[in-house]
Structure 1
Amino acid sequence: MTANAILQAACEQFAVKGFEGASLAGIAQAVGIRKQSIATYYPRKEDLFMAAFHEMARHYYDFLEQLYHQISDNPVEMKLREIVYRNYYYKLEQPVLTAFYKMAVQFPPPFFKELLEEQIALMEQRSAKLYRAIFEQGMSTGVIRQQQADSLLPAFYCLLDGIAMQMFFYGQEEFERRLADIWEIFWAGIKQS
């Protein structure tokens, strides 16, 4: 229980203050424990940061796998659209994890720069399996134009990443109008004519 509380508080601190600005004392205070107690679970601040990053990634993987099972019987266009929209809603519903990820990726602590590339590659490997299967299903059924699935993946990641950035600039109602247009243009670009 305490380890989970420490991770939650760490995610919040790292999300708002970054690695350098977050303090073990602040994290301990948020949990209601002494600073030294954190070392029982995480000997160094770097260990805590890595554990928080892995927890954030695990939470997102769980969301993605659950989503994939929920949409497994949907037509290809609806599967991809649901992934786009539910990713957006996930980010709205998980503001701390979203902000932590954004901070970690945009302003990685020095010790984390090389590890970040490895972590992003691992995250993409897991999600790419799901997305590639949908693209291949779409091409095999004639819904998506024939092309390399591995060429569609970076475009889809850019779409998801762009949405994640754009959503910070607009209110929800305005952004949802934009999101409808974004989706229509993306789908028009990959579907079979």
Structure 2
Amino acid sequence: MSASNIKKAALIQFAKNGYDGTSLATIAKDVGIKKQSIYAHFAGKDELYFTILEEVIIDEKQYLQDYFSSYHTLSLHDKLFQFLSDYGKRYETHPSTMFLLRNAFLPPSHLYEQMMEKVYQYLDGIELLLFQYLEAQRTAFQVSVEEVAISYIALIDSLQIELLYSGRDRFQRRLHASWNIFWRGITVQKEEEHKNE
């Protein structure tokens, strides 16, 4: 049995149950092998966990890069809103998204420092990517591009917490309420100028 199959099964288990709620025995059962067979590919649960984490971060970062380099026909408003809206669907359908969200907010205590170092590197990469995208749109904003990028990430964080702890319905409720305030806050003066022209 390949390491790939072990990682696929482990990803789903870690995504649904977190580190502490996942055992190597359960992963082995899902794959259809004995627990001892996992050690032929991974030194233990920690190594398997971090291998998956690194692959998930690459996958999620690629998704973000692909999203913001695509959908050229969407307006800035629609593109930023659609990303947030799609995140709720992606969380439900992509184990990598669920894994990263659950484990970023609820990391295993004995791996906390190592885990958060990788998560912060990922978040720094997201902030840079967003800044680069928004920089090309700077004339649409009444505040600095840096403020837009940071506040957008704060909005993402808020929505992720709602999704993780409260579910899709409350996620949608928070999304629509907070989005309108966010958008008006970063563009209101520009909109008023256009109305007065």
Q: TM tier, shorter chain?
A: 0.7 to 0.9
* Percent of paired sites with the same residue: 26
SS of the aligned residue for 2:141 comes to coil
In 1, are the aligned partners of 2:6 and 2:38 still within 8 Å (CA)?
A: yes
Kindly provide the amino acid, as one letter, of the partner of residue 122 in structure 2: M
Measure, in 2, the Cα distance between the counterparts of 1:112 and 1:46: 8
1:109-159 CA-partner distances (Å, limit 9, x unpaired):
2342111222122212322232102322222xx211142x33333321121
Instruction: Say whether residues 1:115 and 2:106 are aligned partners.
Output: no
The one of 179, 185, 195 aligned to 1:183: 179
Measure, in 2, the Cα distance between the counterparts of 1:161 and 1:52: 22
Moved more, 10-19 or 116-125: 10-19
Unpaired segments ≥5 residues, structure 2: 190-197
In 1, are the aligned partners of 2:60 and 2:97 still within 8 Å (CA)?
A: no
Measure, in 2, the Cα distance between the counterparts of 1:77 and 1:171: 22
1:162-183 CA-partner distances (Å, limit 9, x unpaired):
11222352554x6435423322
Counterpart of 1:18 in structure 2 is 18
- Count residues in correspondence: 188
Moved more, 176-185 or 21-30: 176-185
Note the C-alpha offset of 1:188: 0.6
1:88-117 CA-partner distances (Å, limit 9, x unpaired):
3221322x3344224322332234211122
Task: Sort the Cα spacing of 1:87 and 1:175 in 2 relative to 1 into closer, same or farther, 3 A.
Answer: closer
TM-score where L is the length of structure 2: 0.81
Counterpart of 2:126 in structure 1 is 127
In 2, are the aligned partners of 1:11 and 1:52 still within 8 Å (CA)?
A: yes
Measure, in 2, the Cα distance between the counterparts of 1:32 and 1:105: 29
SS of the aligned residue for 1:145 comes to coil
SS of the aligned residue for 2:136 comes to helix
Counterpart of 2:166 in structure 1 is 169
Counterpart of 2:102 in structure 1 is 103
Kindly provide the amino acid, as one letter, of the partner of residue 22 in structure 2: A
Note the C-alpha offset of 1:47: 0.3
Task: Sort the Cα spacing of 1:60 and 1:34 in 2 relative to 1 into closer, same or farther, 3 A.
Answer: same
Kindly provide the amino acid, as one letter, of the partner of residue 81 in structure 1: F
Task: Sort the Cα spacing of 1:175 and 1:25 in 2 relative to 1 into closer, same or farther, 3 A.
Answer: closer
Kindly provide the amino acid, as one letter, of the partner of residue 4 in structure 2: N
In 2, are the aligned partners of 1:143 and 1:192 still within 8 Å (CA)?
A: no
Unpaired segments ≥5 residues, structure 1: none
SS of the aligned residue for 2:66 comes to helix
Note the C-alpha offset of 1:40: 1.9
Measure, in 2, the Cα distance between the counterparts of 1:27 and 1:135: 42
Counterpart of 2:47 in structure 1 is 47
Kindly provide the amino acid, as one letter, of the partner of residue 116 in structure 2: E
In 2, are the aligned partners of 1:20 and 1:109 still within 8 Å (CA)?
A: yes
Measure, in 2, the Cα distance between the counterparts of 1:52 and 1:115: 14
Q: Which runs of 4+ in 1 moved over 6 A?
A: none
Moved more, 129-138 or 42-51: 129-138
Kindly provide the amino acid, as one letter, of the partner of residue 13 in structure 1: Q
